[in-house]
Amino acid sequence: MSNEAKLELDGKTFTLPTITGSEQERAVDVSSLRANTGYITLDDGYGNTGSCVSKVTFIDGDKGILRYRGIPIEELAEKSNFIETAYLLIYGSLPTRPQLKTFSDLLAEHQFLHEDMKYHFQGFPTGSHPMAILSSMINAASCFDEGLMHWQFGKMKQFDIYVAKLISQVRTIAAYSYRKSQGLPLIYPKQSYKYTPNFLHMLFSMPYEEFDIKPEVAKALDLIFLLHADHEQNCSTSTVRMVASSQANLFASCAAGVCALWGPLHGGANQAVLEMLADIHSSGDDGSKFITAAKDKNSGKKLMGFGHRVYKNHDPRATIIKKSCDEVLSRLNISDPLLDIAKKLEEAALKDSYFVERKLYPNVDFYSGIIMRAIGIPVEMFTVIFAIGRMPGWIANYKEIMEEPKSRIYRPRQIYTGKTINSYVPLDQRK
Ligand code: SDX
């Protein structure tokens, strides 16, 4: 394997170093390109550009491989849980029993928001989208914390406390965002509950009646959090890194990640999938009309939950979620016509040359919404669930930037295609 690349430009030959990762991925290091050649690279959508080296997650899109710190997602889904996996992603190895206890105790200690945050929730109109509330309230929460307001990037002795605060409070803020959007009273976290059951409690209990938390429901939701926990340099994680590179504090960087995740091409896809299935169902279409429309560029429709920038084979998370979907619905004795439509769409698409030629397969969002609907999560909360799950991955990436001594601010270049030199025209002379 070559450790350098030759580049012929304007009759000259330039040598660029290459880098090989621990999984034999290779890159041409173009850090010196502009200084040596005056050229920059251009890569629409960054499909061919690595923004960093990272030790957190590895994906092989052709083989459908996803590993957190080297552990296959299938093993973690079967044997681990969300909080243990969050620790693995952030600190690099599975926690020992004492480490897990310390982490869990920190999460419990920091699960309450400052009481005055309630007044901020009151400011949102009923019906506000919970993702808008979530992103703004993560930043609002930092206003109640001296350490976040005077963040000393890289010198945070108490960084672990801020990790626990953010993971714990994002869940409390999310639950409150839902309650606020429904005009319901806020339900406080219960000290005796573990992370995911506590979230269900805050979402669905009432002041006079505790929600009956079924173990299979808590387990299914915990699995969804775990499967969403990290995914290399996706749109929202790259956003977190971009903001972190300016040395903004942890809460501000992850609040930016929430905004990026909201888009329907990214984390908003799970909500878009359910809306797509519901539209197909209400129109009486068996899915075939929709598939035809999704192949027509002029229709403005896409088969939401299908396709992926990296996976050109199956998304291993979709396989796990589809299995969990069948299990949860049969255990809860629910038959959902939208699941039947989803399965028909998947079957049809996997045989259709348009999708096969473009290597479009179901991604993590295709079935996750059906489980969330079955366990009672409202559709406008689907992307919030994704954000709670992705928080450990965002934090792990923030930590990598903070701990990298040579970390530089992210500042991509561009190729300008606008007007060349122009001059000011006084108002009364403009046509
Ligand atoms: C997530 O990056 C991550 O890791 C993301 C994520 C994570 O964990 O962080 O995995 C989570 O965001 C999953 C993706 C959720 N989004 C959706 O399900 C929305 C629907 N999917 C598409 O919008 C699309 O597939 C993307 C955004 C996921 C990927 O887009 P790309 O890589 O830019 O691919 P593309 O748009 O260039 O598509 C290539 C071709 C095009 O057709 P041609 O121009 O070649 O004729 O495939 C077509 C596209 O039109 N295509 C689709 C399609 N997805 C791509 N056609 C119909 N339906 C689709 N879903």
Distances (CA, A) of 134 to 109, 153, 183, 263, 373: 21, 24, 16, 14, 20
The pLDDT of residue 8: 96
The pLDDT of residue 216: 93
The pLDDT of residue 24: 96
In this structure, the residues whose C-beta lies within 6 A of any atom of ligand 1 are 45, 231, 234, 265-266, 269, 294, 302-310, 358, 360, 363-365
The pLDDT of residue 2: 74
Q: Tell me the CA–centroid distance for residue 291 and ligand 1, in Å.
A: 15
The pLDDT of residue 127: 83
Question: Atom 1 of ligand 1 has which residue's CA nearest to it?
Answer: 266
The pLDDT of residue 182: 84
Q: What is the pTM of this model?
A: 0.95
With beta carbons less than 8 A apart as the criterion, state whether 199 and 388 touch: yes
Of 48, 266, 388, best ligand 1 pocket probe by most atoms within 8 Å of the beta carbon? 266
Residue span(s) of the chain under CATH 2.20.28 come to 4-65
- Tell me whether residue 114 is one of the annotated catalytic residues: no
Q: Which residues contact 249 (CB under 8 A, 6 or more apart)?
A: 142, 148, 151, 153
Give 7-18 as a DSSP string: EEETTEEEEEEE
Of 68, 224, 265, 397, best ligand 1 pocket probe by most atoms within 8 Å of the beta carbon? 265
End-to-end CA distance of the chain: 61
Q: How many C-beta atoms lie closer than 10 Å to residue 36's C-beta?
A: 14
With beta carbons less than 8 A apart as the criterion, state whether 11 and 17 touch: no
Tokens read off for 164: 């626990």
Question: Atom 26 of ligand 1 has which residue's CA nearest to it?
Answer: 308
Q: Tell me the CA–centroid distance for residue 40 and ligand 1, in Å.
A: 27
The pLDDT of residue 390: 98
Distances (CA, A) of 391 to 308, 397, 403, 412: 21, 10, 18, 25
Question: Atom 31 of ligand 1 has which residue's CA nearest to it?
Answer: 309
Q: Which residues contact 233 (CB under 8 A, 6 or more apart)?
A: 50, 51, 52, 54, 241
User: Of 265, 273, 262, 258, which Cα lies nearest the Cα of 393?
Assistant: 258
The pLDDT of residue 419: 96
Distance of CA 360 to the CA centre of its chain: 20
**What is the distance between the alpha carbons of residues 178 and 199, in angstroms, rounded to a whole number?**
11
The pLDDT of residue 55: 98
- Tell me whether residue 266 is one of the annotated catalytic residues: no
User: Of 135, 131, 62, which Cα lies nearest the Cα of 310?
Assistant: 62
Of 358, 365, 391, best ligand 1 pocket probe by most atoms within 8 Å of the beta carbon? 358
The minimum-distance atom of ligand 1 relative to the CA of 297 is: 50
Question: Atom 50 of ligand 1 has which residue's CA nearest to it?
Answer: 297
**What is the distance between the alpha carbons of residues 161 and 183, in angstroms, rounded to a whole number?**
32
**What is the distance between the alpha carbons of residues 151 and 395, in angstroms, rounded to a whole number?**
15
User: Of 286, 291, 416, 316, which Cα lies nearest the Cα of 64?
Assistant: 316
Tokens read off for 159: 């960084």
Those residues of the chain that have pLDDT short of 50 are none
Q: Look up residue 253 and give its DSSP letter.
A: H
**What is the distance between the alpha carbons of residues 413 and 402, in angstroms, rounded to a whole number?**
23
pLDDT tens digit sequence for 67-85: 999 999 999 999 999 999 9
pLDDT tens digit sequence for 302-322: 999 999 999 998 899 999 999
The pLDDT of residue 209: 94
Q: How many C-beta atoms lie closer than 10 Å to residue 289's C-beta?
A: 12
State the CATH architecture for 4-65: Single Sheet (2.20)
Asked whether the CA dihedral 303, 309, 311, 315 is positive or negative, the reply is negative
The pLDDT of residue 323: 94
The pLDDT of residue 183: 84
Distances (CA, A) of 259 to 31, 129, 237, 250, 253: 29, 12, 11, 15, 10
The minimum-distance atom of ligand 1 relative to the CA of 363 is: 13
Radius of gyration, CA atoms only, the chain: 23
Residue span(s) of the chain under CATH 1.10.230.10 come to 269-374
Burial (CB count <10 Å: 0-12, 13-18, 19+), residue 423: exposed
Distance of CA 131 to the CA centre of its chain: 12
Question: Atom 2 of ligand 1 has which residue's CA nearest to it?
Answer: 234
Q: Tell me the CA–centroid distance for residue 305 and ligand 1, in Å.
A: 8
Question: Atom 24 of ligand 1 has which residue's CA nearest to it?
Answer: 307
Report the CATH superfamily, name and number, of domain 269-374. Answer: Cytochrome P450-Terp, domain 2 (1.10.230.10)
Q: Look up residue 230 and give its DSSP letter.
A: -
pLDDT tens digit sequence for 16-29: 999 999 999 999 99
